[in-house]
Amino acid sequence: MWILEGEAKLTGSLIAAGASLLVSVVSAVLAARHKRETDRELETLKDRLQSAAKERDARRDYEYEARKRIYEECEPLLFQATEAAAKARDRIASLARTAAQGRLKPGEGSWLEIDPYYLRSTIYYLLAPMAVFRLLRSRMTWLDLSLEPAIGTHYALLKEAAGMFTRDFELAGCEPKLAYDPHSEPTREQVAAAPAIYRWQGWAHGDLERSLDLLIREDGKGRLQLVSYGEFDKHFRKGDKSGKDDHALLQAWEEFFRPFHPARLPVLWRVLVAQAILYQGLENLHRSGAEGTPRPLAAVGPDPRFDWREPGTEASIAASASAQEAALALLRTRVPALFG
């Protein structure tokens, strides 16, 4: 009997030992599996963190190099554009002031007719900021302007101003609307009698681009740059080496501005005032500092410097102010984000 009891106890011990061993083995297997899964998860997490770090580093390097290139390529031209825009705006104000003094009357001693310097410098100062925009555009083709919104706003203002000479019909259609029908094949008599209606007061895009080419030349290193007024003036002088087509184009600009008066060519005056408003926005942006303001035209309103009325004449305040109203109306539809 005691032998049977001993065998039973031994069997029970063996079973208990086997169960314990089985539990240990299973636990070891599960622990090893858990460790492998944990190691895989840690490796995956490590790879993700390393990948994210590499992406951040690559993005930081890209942004650094992109910003560096933006400033290297654009900063000098933006400064030049701001300076040229200020001179253009001053000349537009000068035209209004000269008209108010009675010195822009065609056939009556207009400065644009009797003073070659005033005429040619007017052409140069009005075209110069548009030519600088051409230079800026050629260097910004592959630049990421989202990194520097202020520079993008500079570009938007200059781009809008550069195209304004082709928007004569749009400006004529702004309230208060102007009768304007230069492409109806008017006779010379009609143009002479009603230049405000029948004389073309804008430029075709292609001819405008060709005109801007005359203000650009290569420097000693092969880079394009804006010519000085002195170089530009040489194109008008006898013995100049410019081609006949170039000289004819410059003469066309002389004929375009020589008979100018805001009352006589009101659509052209709207073109110039629209440019002046955009150039004021450029000045506002420049004054606001490195960060710039996203709404450089928000505070732009009627400017008394563009009042061309002569004292004692019948020209009304409305006639003088309508150009600014029309220009602001067009710009609010074309670049609303710059107004806020």
Q: What is the pLDDT of residues 238-259, one digit of tens each?
A: 545 566 778 888 899 999 999 9
Amino acid residing at 160: E
Q: What is the pLDDT of residues 310-322, one digit of tens each?
A: 886 666 566 667 8
For position 143, what pLDDT does the model report?
60
- 251: which 2 tokens? 């003469």
180 phi/psi in degrees, rounded to 5? -155, 110
Query: At a CB cut-off of 8 Å and minimum separation 6, what does 296 contact?
Result: 153, 157, 281, 282, 284, 285, 288, 338
pTM of the model: 0.80
Q: Give CA–CA dist 21/153, Å, rounded.
A: 77
- 96: which 2 tokens? 């209004």
Q: Give CA–CA dist 191/142, Å, rounded.
A: 46
- Judge whether residue 130 has pLDDT over 60: yes
Q: What is the pLDDT of residues 280-296, one digit of tens each?
A: 999 988 787 655 567 88
Q: What is the pLDDT of residues 45-82, one digit of tens each?
A: 777 777 666 666 555 655 666 667 767 777 888 889 99
Of the listed ranges 86-90, 214-218, 318-322, the one predicted with least confidence: 318-322
For position 8, what pLDDT does the model report?
63
Of the listed ranges 43-52, 122-131, 157-166, 188-197, the one predicted with least confidence: 43-52
Asked if 81 contacts 132 with a C-beta cutoff of 8 angstroms, the reply is yes
CA atoms within 13 A on the CB side of 251: 9
For position 7, what pLDDT does the model report?
64
For position 73, what pLDDT does the model report?
73
- 3: which 2 tokens? 């032998």
User: How many other CB atoms are found less than 10 A from the CB of residue 113?
Assistant: 18
